[in-house]
Structure 1
């Protein structure tokens, strides 16, 4: 991250490099830190190194490529995030496909040492149940990404299912990322180890948001929700956020992102008086249709001077309001990049379809 004044930007040539990748690829610049450790612009989730070369990483690990998957190269299972395929990447995958894919993976690498798995393709619907049924074969799994597919693929087409089984079957899981929300569901659970939970979507169902508010996640430090728009299933209301904003089931939460919302002003007003905010180090209300009304609510609510970072990028604030935000929070690293021009009365979110 680079800070100029109190503006914060992602920059692959400055601090926040992944030391693991620096060591693995000497002479090449690693990308910015993973989302989950900080809030990044939406186009940074698949990162490029300083020379423009593409490099996929997840949870600080390079994603295994064809050499490793073909049984060549370094097969130390702890050194890579391992792809799980249920079929062709642009085809729907079912339970049988994921079962076959897991068997193929475990024939190549020792499952007892696998720490990270990325479920690749346009559908992860049946992957949680398959992984849960094989949890005893993946005892070291700590990080899981469902829907690991390039962000230029339409996010609204990515299919998910019930993610509850992986949380129940992997009590030592520390990180769960979910991309896409078609068919997504979740039941309230208690999970003592989860530290990072992220949902990327163009429309996050309200029932999932409500279930999150009823979860007991005592170790969770980073919670990130792309709420999206109603047209693509994002029907969550401010009332649905009450359980999260109360902070009752989230005693360790330090980074909260309620992003990409078409009701961002209302979300900001709720955040302004939310009990959970007092314990946060970083807050992101970015990627949505935030305007002067929402910013005014933030400035009129509880103090935010304790924050280290406030991420408001992709916003519809007027220049005077932007200056007011900066002036009110002189010690906070603020991202007010990507100001957007309003099209008549219409504002838009960063990620929808």
Structure 2
């Protein structure tokens, strides 16, 4: 599976690309009615560095009206990390008084594989905007995050082909009392994943996440271990939806879920993109039907066989 579409809406607003120097925004004055996307194409007809594009943006758009900001390509993202993006946003933080949603790394396959996206320490963005409600990032290479206490954040999304264990640990150690939705793409060891269920212990305990009602621990090569940990995790009791999709989930993980704590209180369980046998699919479907839980078991995968060995992979790696 690959990411083929840019964000079209963000924070319930349509995304509007700021565009190259030739773009004309003079007729558009309601600067708070859209989620602004700042993106530079290093190989386009109008080559421009990110700093210059962001400079034009702050001169053209009334920053005090901007409530949602999406950062796309900042150039050759596989050679340059996102630190310039962080510095540019921090330089105008006092003018971005209405900012409530921020996404860093809205790139699709034709621009860069997810593992090619060079991120940086994104913690200063959370620290600089205490009223931020939504924060998302794509790309795990060089991604850093330190534990934070943030009382306004309601959604946290980190999409990677390989999630560094230090980042997962930072999320676990953060105090996020308003967080309602958490989604982590765990990924593959080949592409930088060092996250284990031990790094997720704080999330699974739920004590620092009292408002959490949606948990997504997705895209893990070792989705069976994640499922087994979730099956006994205290946080599950407060959830309305659970998403373990996009991973290499097998019958072992499915059996752990079925043998674990009750999931009958959930509204939905997403296990799409999985490696379950037909028998396991039937057992999970029957159990969730009996509990009244909507379950997604679509996109059944078959193991890749090489030299008589079976191989299973999460949906997004490179």
TM-score by length of 1: 0.80
Give the alignment of 1:79-228 within 5 angstroms.
79-85=33-39, 87-89=40-42, 98-121=50-73, 122=77, 123-152=81-110, 153-228=112-187
Q: What is the rounded CA distance, in whole Å, between the counterparts of 2:107 and 2:256 in structure 1? A: 37
* Cα 1:105–1:174 shift into 2, 3 Å: same
- 1:46 CA displacement: 3.9
- After superposition, the CA RMSD in angstroms is 2.2
Unmatched 5+ stretches in structure 1: 1-40, 48-55, 92-96
Q: Tell me, yes or no, if structure 1 residue 339 matches structure 2 residue 291.
A: no
Query: Residue by residue, what CA displacement relative to the aligned partner does 1:217-240 show, whole Å, maximum 9, x if unpaired?
Result: 011111000000011111111111
Report the 3-state secondary structure (helix = DSSP H, G, I; strand = E; otherwise coil) of the residue aligned with 2:200: helix
Q: What is the rounded CA distance, in whole Å, between the counterparts of 2:286 and 2:114 in structure 1? A: 37
* Cα 1:262–1:211 shift into 2, 3 Å: same
Given that 2:115 and 2:139 are in contact with CA atoms closer than 8 Å, whether structure 1 keeps it comes out as yes
- 1:99 CA displacement: 4.3
Report the 3-state secondary structure (helix = DSSP H, G, I; strand = E; otherwise coil) of the residue aligned with 2:32: helix
Q: What is the rounded CA distance, in whole Å, between the counterparts of 1:293 and 1:179 in structure 2? A: 29
Q: What is the rounded CA distance, in whole Å, between the counterparts of 2:133 and 2:258 in structure 1? A: 34
Given that 1:132 and 1:170 are in contact with CA atoms closer than 8 Å, whether structure 2 keeps it comes out as no
Query: Residue by residue, what CA displacement relative to the aligned partner does 1:118-176 show, whole Å, maximum 9, x if unpaired?
Result: 11103533312331232101000011110111244311111111110011000000101
The number of residues matched between the two structures is: 300
Q: What is the rounded CA distance, in whole Å, between the counterparts of 1:125 and 1:301 in structure 2? A: 43
Given that 1:98 and 1:130 are in contact with CA atoms closer than 8 Å, whether structure 2 keeps it comes out as no
Query: Residue by residue, what CA displacement relative to the aligned partner does 1:251-298 show, whole Å, maximum 9, x if unpaired?
Result: 100110010001100110000000000000110111010000000000
Q: What is the rounded CA distance, in whole Å, between the counterparts of 1:64 and 1:73 in structure 2? A: 14
**Match for residue 30 of structure 2?**
76
- 1:45 CA displacement: 5.8
Given that 2:4 and 2:108 are in contact with CA atoms closer than 8 Å, whether structure 1 keeps it comes out as no
Identify which of 3, 6, 11 aligns with 1:59: 11
**Match for residue 240 of structure 1?**
199
Report the 3-state secondary structure (helix = DSSP H, G, I; strand = E; otherwise coil) of the residue aligned with 1:305: coil
Given that 1:46 and 1:57 are in contact with CA atoms closer than 8 Å, whether structure 2 keeps it comes out as no
**Match for residue 230 of structure 2?**
271
**Match for residue 33 of structure 1?**
none
- 1:90 CA displacement: 6.3
Q: What is the rounded CA distance, in whole Å, between the counterparts of 1:61 and 1:339 in structure 2? A: 33
Q: What is the rounded CA distance, in whole Å, between the counterparts of 1:269 and 1:277 in structure 2? A: 12
TM-score by length of 2: 0.89
